[in-house]
Structure 1
C-alpha cells in the first residue's frame, strides 16, 4: 500500500469533455456471467454484477453485440439491429440493464457493426433474392472475371483476401454474381455509397439513442467507404490473396460519411454521448481529423499500431519479441499527435487481443505486480482508458491443447487454410496460434474458485481457465492489495486529479529498453510515472533532481525512497509547481 495525498477537486466530468476523466469497461457478454445455466453469458448475468462494476469505479460500459444473430462471429454478424438475441435475453432485459447502469451513474455504449450485416439479415435476403430487387445495391455485388469459370478460384471480381482467411468474395449460384465480405462469408459488406443504406443505419442508431443508450463503439467504421472501382490490391510473395486495404481503409468518402452520421444522429441531442471509432490501419494524421471536435466526426479512435509491434509484418500468426523502445515510440507518437487536437483511446486488450498481462507483462512469478504496473502506465497517459473484462483481475492467456478447443472463426479458418493450402503441420499452426489468438480473451470471467469459476452452473461455451482457483474476483474484491483494488486506485486518480485527465504529456527516457517513463503536466502540478518492464531491478535516470522531494501517490510495492524500481514496479510521483 503506497502513501496517498489529498488531490484537488475532481476533474471536469460533465459537458463536452466529460469522457476525458472517464474510464470505460468492455463486456464481452458471452463470457461475462451466465444467469440461466446454458453456458453462455447473458444480460441477466451482467445485471447481477453491476455493483461489482460500480465498486470498480468505471463510468461507461461498452457492451459487445447482443443483437439477434446467427452467431457465426459471436454476434458481430447481425441479423436484426433492433432486437436482442434470445441467447442473451430480450429488449426488456436490455432496458433493465440500462436502468441499472444509469441508477449507478454509469453509461451504456452499444457496439455498432454497420460495415457489414449477417447474410440472414432481411436486407441481405432481399438483396440476394434477385438482381432487380430494390435492395440489390445495398451490398457489393459484382460479376465474375471474364474467361474464368464462375465459382472457381480466380473468378472473383478482385484479388482481395478476407480477414478470416480465404477470398473476400462469395459466389451466389442463383444470380451468377459474387458479393463482397471482408470478414466471414456470412457477413456481407453493406454498400455505403447507397444513400438508402446510410439513412437506414442512421434511423437505427437514432432508435437506440431514443431508447436511452449513451453512444456507440463503431466496429471497423473506417472500412465503410470503399473505392467503387474495387481494384486489385498488392499481393505479397507467398500469399494467396491480395491486400485490399489500400482501397477500403479510410476510403475516399469516410470523413464525409462520419460527418453526415454526426449530423443525422448525434447533433442537437442534449445528453453526454460517446462515439468511438474502431479503425484498423488508421494513421496518426487521419486520427487527428477524425477526432478534431470542430469536424464533428467521432470522439476518439481505436488504433492498432501498438498491438502489431509483436508481429512480423503485422501478421499475428508470426509473433516476435516486443521491444519496449518500439512501444514507447508508437504510443508517444500518438500522444504527441493528438496533444493539441483530438483525443486518444488507451487500451492493452479487448475481445480481439490476447490477455494484457500475458502479452506485455509477466504472467508467472510477477503476474500481480506486472498487471498493476500495466494498469498505471496505461491509465496515466493522455486519453480515455479501457478495461477489458478480467483485466482488472490480472486474468491470463489460456493454453488450448487442440484445434477442437478453439471457438473463434478467425482461428478455425486460419488453421484450415494453413494446414490444407500452405503446407504447415497441425503442431506448427497451433504453436503460432497460441500467443495472440482471440480466444485467449474470450474465456469466461473468473468470479470465484468453484467449478467453472462461478461463470455458469452448466457447461461453458468455451473452457474456463483452470487458474480460476487462484485468480478470481471473490479472492480480490476484499483484498486491499489485489489487482482489482489497484485498478480502483488508478481509476480514482483519473477521477480526482485534473493533471491525469487534462495534463500535457512528455515522454522521458525514450531509448531505455526497460523503463517506461513519462511526465504529465498542468501549470500548477506535475506527475511522474515510472514503470519497469522487466524482472530485474532498474534505476530510472530521469535527470530531474527535484522529483526527490515529490510525494509518491501510487505504486505496486511498499513505498521506498528514490527512483530505483524493483521487478515490474511502477511508481507515480506528484508535485506542485
Structure 2
C-alpha cells in the first residue's frame, strides 16, 4: 500500500484523543463534541473470538489475551456481544441471569480482568443490553408461567387467545415471529399464550409494568457501577408494544418490524431510562433500531430529547437481504447505496448522530456481500469497504475479522449450521414444500448469521489458532491458511495494516468526524466520490466499486490534490482531474 509522508508522520505520532483538544462547550461545525462521536468501535462476538482453555468455545480470558492486538489496531471502544448466563438458544441473546457470566465464557473475575485490561489500554467497553425479552429459563419467566396469580405474571405478555366452538385454540393475533412461525406460544401450565417476537424460548417482557423497568434499570446500574461505559441496546424500539396489539394488515405482514417498532410509550420509557440511569454516568448508548425509518431517527437520538446517543439504521446493511420474507440475496447498485448515505446527510441534523456499518453478528461477511471475495479482488475490495466505513458521517463500527477481510463460509448442508434462524426457516420453508432444500441451502449460505460467527482466524496453525482443542463450536473457514492475522501482520500490503493506518488517519482528521459530506457523483454506477469538509480543510475520497479499471474525471473541474492514502502502491496521481483507478481501488486526498 502507498503511505505518503503525511500519513507516515501521523503513524509515528502518538495517538491523541481529539476530544481532549476541544473544550466540551465549544461546538465543532455545529456539533457538540463527544468521545463516542470520535470513537472507532470494534464488535467482539465472545464465542468466536479466542478460546483460552481448549474447549472450542471463545471466552473472556481469550479476549483479554488479544487486547494488545485491538489496541494496535487503533480502535478505542469494544462492543462485547452478550456474555451473560444463557442457555444459548439464540447465541446468548436469551438471557437467564443478567448478573452472571455465561459459564462457558468464564467468571465474573474474568470479566473484571478483561475490563481492567481495556481501561489500562485507554479503551472503553460497551455491553449488550437485551431487555425486550429474556430466556424462558430466566427466574422471572419461571415464576411468571407457574400460575396466573404469581407476582411475576405481569412481567410478560400473556393472553387467552381465541377458542372456536369446537374447542380449537388459536393465538391472540396474527403476529409472526422473526424466526418463522407465530409469535405466540400456548403454555399448558396456565393454558394461555405468551408473546415472543423471536424464538419460543425468548418471551417478551411487559414494559408497561413499572416493576419490569425498575429491574432493568437496576441491572444497568450493576454493570455501569462495575465500570462499563455504555450499552448497545438490542431491538430496543420493540419494547413498547402496539396499542391493543390488533391483527396486522396484509400490508403490515410484508414488513412486520415496522408494525412492531416504536410503540406509543417508547419515548416515555427511553426518557425514564435516561433520567433514572444514563444521565448519571458518562455513557455511550446505541440502539438496534429494527423497524425504525430514517425519518423516525431524530425521535430517538435528537440531542434535546435525552433518550439515546445513536442508533443502527439498517437501510444500507439490509440493502441485499431484508429482515423478513423468503431467503435470497437481492441485487444492488452503487447509486442505491449512495442514495442511502446521501439521505442520511440530508435528514439528520447537527443535533442527531449517525452510525456507519455494514456488518455485525447478524450479517454475512461484508466483503462477500458488498465486495468481491475472489482471491484476486478480496484484499482491494475489503480495503475499499473499510475506507468507506471509516470516512463517512457517523461513528464507525467494525466487526471482528473485517480488518482481515474474512469471507463467508462455504456452507453445504443443514448440519453445517448452528443458526436457529436457519433451522426454523428450514422447517417452515423446506419441510412444508415451499422451496427445495437445494435452493434454500444455496440462499442461506450467502445470508446466514453463521457466516459472521465462524471462529476468528488468528494464524495458520490447526483451527486457525482460535483454540488448542480439535472441535471448535462452529467450523473454521477452510481459507484460514491464506487469511489470518499472523500472515497479515507481516505483510505491509495486507488489509490489517491498511485498516490500522486508516484508523490512525481518521483519529487525526476531525473532518472525518465532524465534517460536512457531499456526494460528488450520485448516479455513477462504479465510482463513489465524496468530500468531507471542516472549515478550510477538505478531503476527497474516491472509491472504485468495480472489478475492472476505471478512468474517472472528477466533476465540476475539481482536481485531486495531495494523496494521503491509497491501497495501491502505484497510485501517485496528484493535482489531476482525471484519475486512473485500479479494480476496487480507494484513495484519500487532502484538497
Superposition TM-score tier, normalisation by shorter sequence: over 0.9
Aligned match of 1:318 = 328
Aligned match of 1:501 = 513
- Corresponding residue SS for 1:308: coil
Give the count of matched residue pairs. 567
Q: CA deviation at 1:305?
A: 1.0
Does 1:68 find its partner at 2:85?
yes
User: Matches of 1:423 and 1:88 in 2, distance apart?
Assistant: 39
- Conservation of the 8 A alpha-carbon contact between 1:226 and 1:247: no
- Conservation of the 8 A alpha-carbon contact between 2:243 and 2:263: no
Aligned match of 2:554 = 542
Which runs of 5 or more residues in structure 1 are unaligned? none
Aligned match of 1:569 = 585
User: Matches of 1:102 and 1:362 in 2, distance apart?
Assistant: 37
Aligned match of 2:430 = 419
Aligned match of 2:305 = 295
- Corresponding residue SS for 2:327: strand
Aligned match of 1:475 = 487
User: Matches of 1:529 and 1:412 in 2, distance apart?
Assistant: 42
Which deviates more from structure 2 when the two are superposed, residues 260-269 or residues 371-380?
260-269
Does 1:268 find its partner at 2:285?
no
Aligned match of 1:42 = 59
With normalisation by structure 1, the TM-score equals 0.95
Q: CA deviation at 1:151?
A: 7.4
Aligned match of 1:308 = 318
Does 1:346 find its partner at 2:361?
no
- Conservation of the 8 A alpha-carbon contact between 1:22 and 1:494: no
User: Matches of 1:312 and 1:109 in 2, distance apart?
Assistant: 27
Q: CA deviation at 1:490?
A: 1.2
Q: CA deviation at 1:72?
A: 0.5
Which runs of 5 or more residues in structure 2 are unaligned? 25-32
- Conservation of the 8 A alpha-carbon contact between 2:521 and 2:555: no
Q: CA deviation at 1:340?
A: 2.2
Q: For 2:395, which of 380, 384, 388 is the aligned residue? A: 384
- Corresponding residue SS for 1:433: helix
- Corresponding residue SS for 1:216: strand
- Conservation of the 8 A alpha-carbon contact between 2:235 and 2:288: yes
- Conservation of the 8 A alpha-carbon contact between 1:290 and 1:298: yes
- Corresponding residue SS for 1:71: coil
User: Matches of 1:344 and 1:358 in 2, distance apart?
Assistant: 25
Q: CA deviation at 1:10?
A: 5.9
- Corresponding residue SS for 2:467: coil
User: Matches of 2:553 and 2:276 in 1, distance apart?
Assistant: 52
Cα distance change on mapping 1:246 and 1:55 into 2, 3 Å: closer
Does 1:429 find its partner at 2:440?
yes
Q: CA deviation at 1:283?
A: 1.2
- Corresponding residue SS for 2:328: strand
Does 1:12 find its partner at 2:19?
yes
User: Matches of 2:74 and 2:581 in 1, distance apart?
Assistant: 28
Cα distance change on mapping 1:541 and 1:556 into 2, 3 Å: same
User: Matches of 2:293 and 2:258 in 1, distance apart?
Assistant: 12
1:184-228 residue CA offsets vs partner (Å, 9 max, x unmatched): 000000011111101110011011100100100000001001124
User: Matches of 1:223 and 1:312 in 2, distance apart?
Assistant: 17
Does 1:489 find its partner at 2:501?
yes
- Conservation of the 8 A alpha-carbon contact between 1:33 and 1:445: yes
- Conservation of the 8 A alpha-carbon contact between 1:335 and 1:344: no
Cα distance change on mapping 1:352 and 1:151 into 2, 3 Å: farther
Aligned match of 1:329 = 339
Does 1:178 find its partner at 2:179?
no
Aligned match of 1:22 = 39
Q: For 2:160, which of 138, 143, 155 is the aligned residue? A: 143
Q: CA deviation at 1:126?
A: 1.0
Cα distance change on mapping 1:42 and 1:313 into 2, 3 Å: closer
- Corresponding residue SS for 1:21: coil
Cα distance change on mapping 1:242 and 1:314 into 2, 3 Å: closer
Aligned match of 2:409 = 398
Aligned match of 1:169 = 184
1:84-123 residue CA offsets vs partner (Å, 9 max, x unmatched): 0100001111000000000001101001100000000011
- Corresponding residue SS for 2:396: strand
- Conservation of the 8 A alpha-carbon contact between 2:321 and 2:447: no
Cα distance change on mapping 1:296 and 1:510 into 2, 3 Å: same
Cα distance change on mapping 1:151 and 1:389 into 2, 3 Å: farther
Which deviates more from structure 2 when the two are superposed, residues 483-492 or residues 178-187?
483-492
- Conservation of the 8 A alpha-carbon contact between 1:161 and 1:243: no
Q: For 1:194, which of 209, 222, 226 is the aligned residue? A: 209
Does 1:114 find its partner at 2:131?
yes
Q: For 1:209, which of 218, 224, 229 is the aligned residue? A: 224
Aligned match of 2:27 = none
Aligned match of 2:565 = 554
Q: CA deviation at 1:294?
A: 1.4
User: Matches of 2:167 and 2:518 in 1, distance apart?
Assistant: 57
User: Matches of 1:315 and 1:532 in 2, distance apart?
Assistant: 32
Q: For 1:82, which of 87, 92, 99 is the aligned residue? A: 99
